[in-house]
Structure 1
Amino acid sequence: MAAILGLSDQVVADVCAGVTSGTCVPANFNSPGQIVVSGDISGVDEGIVLAREAGAKRALKLKVSGAFHSPLMESAAKGLGDQLDRIEMQDPKFPVVSNVTGKVR
């Protein structure tokens, strides 16, 4: 994964589409001009080079252990989903505040 600063969403998408050595996809749109890309090592490395060539203020490789938020995580998501399907969900035993709505459940 890599943080790309100073490029628009569309330019980062175009950069990722131009990667030929592996997988590189926009993964997190943190704020305007700050987008994280994800993929395999060769794809992200090429994406960093292309982002810099496209005028990125910074393109910084992130120290992570996987290609999170990318299609490369689909098999892990399926495995996790299979495990979650085996669990009987219950109501929480204590109040939980939603970070989306602010409501207490």
Structure 2
Amino acid sequence: MRRGRSISIIRAAAAPALALLVIGNFAGYAIAGPNGLLALGDYKQQLAQRQAVLKQVEAQRAVLAHRVALLDAKHVDPDMADELVRRDMGLARPDEVIIPTP
């Protein structure tokens, strides 16, 4: 009779024990997993770095957009066109000094 009772106690405790293991597993991943709370600080640092890179890229894009506007087919800036032709085609004289603009 004691043996039958101990087996029934083990069977009764098995389901809650399994449930606790599953919940503990999920809690562990929620805290220390790759997307858990401990990784949150790392994500914030990566976000700050990428926002800084985004600012640099947007500044470069603005410079390029300005240069494209200067080369618009309807009203080309003559200085810009002259600079590009001389630099790309090698039409500068040996005594000329070409100062590239950023």
TM bracket, shorter-chain basis? under 0.3
Higher relative contact order (CA 8 A, sep 6+): 1
TM-score (norm 2): 0.26
Larger radius of gyration between Structure 1 and Structure 2: 2
From the two aligned structures, give the one with the greater strand fraction: 1
From the two aligned structures, give the one with the greater helix fraction: 2
TM-score (norm 1): 0.26
